[in-house]
Amino acid sequence: MQQVKYFFDNIPLNAYCLAHGLNPNSVRTRVWKKRNNPKYAHLTDQEIVNLVIKTCNTGTLYMVGDISLRKYCQEHDINFQTIISRINKLKAKNPNLTNDELVKQSLDCFENHNFTLYVDNIPLKDYCALHPDLKYNTIRGHILNIRNQDPNKSVTEIVHEYEKKEHFGIYRYYYCGIPLKEYCDKKNISYRAIIARINRYTKIHPITSDDELVNIIMDEYSPFIPKYQYNGTTLRDYCINHDISYYSVVSFVKRALEKDSTLNIDTLIDTAIKAIKKQGIIYYYDGIPLRDYCRINHLNASSIRSSIIKKKATSSLPLQEIVNKCVEAWHEAYIKYYYDDEPLFTYCKKNNINYNTIISRYLDLNITETDEERKITLKSIVDEVRRFPKTRIKYYFQEQSLRQYCLKSNYSYSAIHRRIQKYQREFEYTLKSEVVEEAVITYEAKNILKTNYDLFNYLSSLDDISKNLDIITSTLNIDIESLNDMIEMGFDSYQAILLIWFLSKTNPKSMTDDLLKQIYSSISIYQATNSLDIYSLYVLYKTCIIDTTESILLYFEPFLENIIIEYEPHYKKLSLEELNTLWLELNSYFLMLLDTIYLDDKQKFLKHIMYLLSEKIRIFYLETTFPPEAKTLKKEFT
């Protein structure tokens, strides 16, 4: 049977708490916190217990009638923290108010804040619900704007005037009785171009109303009527729907109009579309469509067409001459390398050889040659590649290919592949599966740890955690009621968040009685024996309930010693002072890394943390402390 440790008035603490309506867990937690607080280091355990019992239930309990404020807020779907915040503000401004007055004024203020605006004696929110065309946020903003100009105008009057307008709703700009966006879509006008012009005009004439602005801009915007129509729709839409190049058709029409401006545009459009449907292209080279020529000769048709369009804008040459010059220029600029009088790119493509590999090997030679000498050199490189093809290594993980595993797990295959190659250069492995497993586990560890660190880094940026509990609980998927219960028991907000995050496995995460017992049991065991499993030590360290730094460093001591032995070949020759300095530096860096880790998976904790810390410390010491010839540390740890 467990020995009773704490007493009050010669009664076991647990029995005393139950007899007087106190929460034993909450009382014990406060006792343990005060015991570990340097402020109370001069007090004995019994004095701390007496102090905690005397201060229990001395906090302010706010009531609404016969029930607590918290319960009232839960029953009426009101945010308890919001009301407490209002009470604190009122108390600071009016210290003479009683608790009941503070509660009443705070609740009245909350209700008035939510239902300040009435229309025909109906709250504005309810009125908007009865009139779906009215958007609550839009009309509320409109009311506030009008009241800034005319404070005496009633809400009912403002809303009814708004309803009588020709338009209202989610759109700001209207034209011809319909939303401007809808009008632009129907008339094939660029809505963004119109809005940009409206914004520019507003800066010059800020007093102009929205309707006047739209009318002025639409009158001035000459291109708003579509230029080309075909078969009852815009030419652009027709081309998109029938997979025809819009710019090719327009180019054909413009060229024809340059020769004879009296030609009918509709006839020209029809001719161009029929020609493109029949021939597939407007540009020709060597008597065949340019697209076919490029496909046969492995040229980039899009790049050549782009060159043609640019050259046409600055050249007075006939179109066919421009096409010929652009194709010839492409040949001269891009076909530099040959294999037996055949373009090297073409030869590589036909024979399934990597063109970039050949070019890379040739450029690595860094030699200057004539065209004939270059052909001979390239031929020898190609022949060598064909004789000794590089075997492609395929990696497997968990009885499937590594690439397939990465696709299923949404991992970066290239990142893991680079890590495999890096490990193979730095370490010796008996089996290929070992390096693959190590690379995958390290990648997973870094992925998980980085995600968790980003979450808690964001939370630490919040000004006041207690004022942002809604954001925190939704971000970390923590049950807010469970979090509030932990805070009431005496844990501070950050401690409660971390304890639920590290220990809970439910969805959403919440604190249970069993987990609380586990926490108290871990604390008692550690205080009695100074030993715990590493994950429990880690949780106590992160939550600052007890300082377990010494025990954590003791657990990882063999690992840290191995680093010194592996990296510093002359460590035996170091003086005691130098060795102590090195040891302190390594411990400090280790703890600094541990502070960035928020891993909530007990099963993966040790494996992931070992891989991550090994890599981080290795990089740190290779870059800062040890000579370049130093070996990398072993990944083995027992």
CA end-to-end distance (rounded Å), the chain = 35
Q: What is the share, in percent, of the chain residues with pLDDT greater than 70?
A: 77
Tell me the pairing of strands 233-234 and 11-12.
unpaired
What's residue 115's pLDDT?
A: 47
Note the pLDDT of residue 420: 84
The predicted structure's pLDDT at residue 636: 34
Determine the pLDDT at residue 335: 56
Continuous H helices in 165-245: 180-186, 191-204, 210-220, 235-241
The DSSP letter of residue 41 is T
Q: What is the pLDDT of residue 210?
A: 76
Largest CA distance in the chain: 114
pLDDT tens-digit series, residues 86-132? 888 888 888 888 888 888 888 877 654 554 678 887 888 788 888 87
Long-range contacts of 437-441 (CB under 8 A, 24+ apart): 437/397, 438/611, 438/635, 440/397, 440/402, 440/405, 440/411, 440/416, 441/607, 441/608, 441/611
Tokens of 242: 């029938």
pLDDT value of residue 225:
47
> For residues 232 and 358, which has the higher predicted lDDT (pLDDT)?
358
Residue 338 Rama label (left phi>0; alpha psi -120 to 50; beta): beta
pLDDT at residue 2, rounded to an integer = 45
Cβ burial 55-93 (10 Å sphere, 16+ → b, else e)? ebeeeeebebeeeebbebbeeeeeebeebbebbeebeee
**Predicted pLDDT at 557:** 79
Output the pLDDT for position 258. Answer: 75
- Whether the per-residue pLDDT at 11 is higher than 80: the answer is yes
Shortest CA distance to 85 belongs to which of 483, 469, 456, 459?
A: 469
CA dihedral (533, 534, 540, 543) positive or negative: negative
Distance CA 204, CA 213 (A): 11
Q: Residue 635 above 70 pLDDT?
A: no
pLDDT over 70 at 66, yes or no: yes
DSSP state letter for 506: S
Q: Quick one: which H or E segment has residue 339?
A: strand 338-339
Given a contact cutoff of 8 angstroms between Cβ atoms, the answer to whether 182 and 189 are in contact is no
Average model confidence (pLDDT) across the chain: 75
Q: How far apart are CA 325 and CA 340, in angstroms?
A: 26
527-582 residue pLDDT tens: 778 778 878 887 888 777 778 888 888 887 777 777 666 655 555 566 667 667 77
- Residue 214 CA to residue 177 CA, distance in Å, equals 12
Instruction: Please tell me the distance from the alpha carbon of residue 71 to that of residue 517, in angstroms, as a whole number.
Output: 26
Q: What is the pLDDT of residues 389-414, one digit of tens each?
A: 665 556 777 777 787 788 877 788 88
| Predicted confidence band of residue 203 (pLDDT cuts 50, 70, 90) | confident
Rounded distance, CA 487 to CA 484, Å?
A: 5
pLDDT tens digits for 590-607? 777 777 777 667 766 776
Express each pLDDT in 126-182 by its tens digit.
888 888 777 777 787 788 778 878 888 888 888 888 776 645 555 677 777 677 888
pLDDT score recorded for residue 618: 62
Q: What is the pLDDT of residue 633?
A: 36
Instruction: Please compute the mean of the pLDDT values over residues 297-307 and round it to a whole number.
Output: 77
Strand residues in 236-296 grouped as ranges (E): 284-285, 288-289
Query: Does 358 or 458 have the greater pLDDT score?
Result: 358
Cβ(541)–Cβ(609) below 8 Å: no
Give residue 371's identity as a one-letter amino acid code.
Answer: D
3-state secondary structure of 8: strand
Q: Are 79 and 73 in contact (CB under 8 A)?
A: yes
The DSSP line for 457-486 is: HHHHTSS-GGG-HHHHHHHHTB-HHHHHHH
pTM of the model: 0.34
Give the confidence band of 333 by pLDDT, cuts at 50, 70, 90: low
pLDDT value of residue 581: 75
**Exposure string for 592-614, b = 16+ CB within 10 A, e = fewer:** ebbeebbbbebeebbebbbbbbb
Please compute the mean of the pLDDT values over residues 81-89 and round it to a whole number: 81
- With CA atoms as reference, report the closest residue to 609 among 551, 559, 541: 559
CB 218 within 8 A of CB 195: no
What secondary structure letter does DSSP report for 400? Answer: S
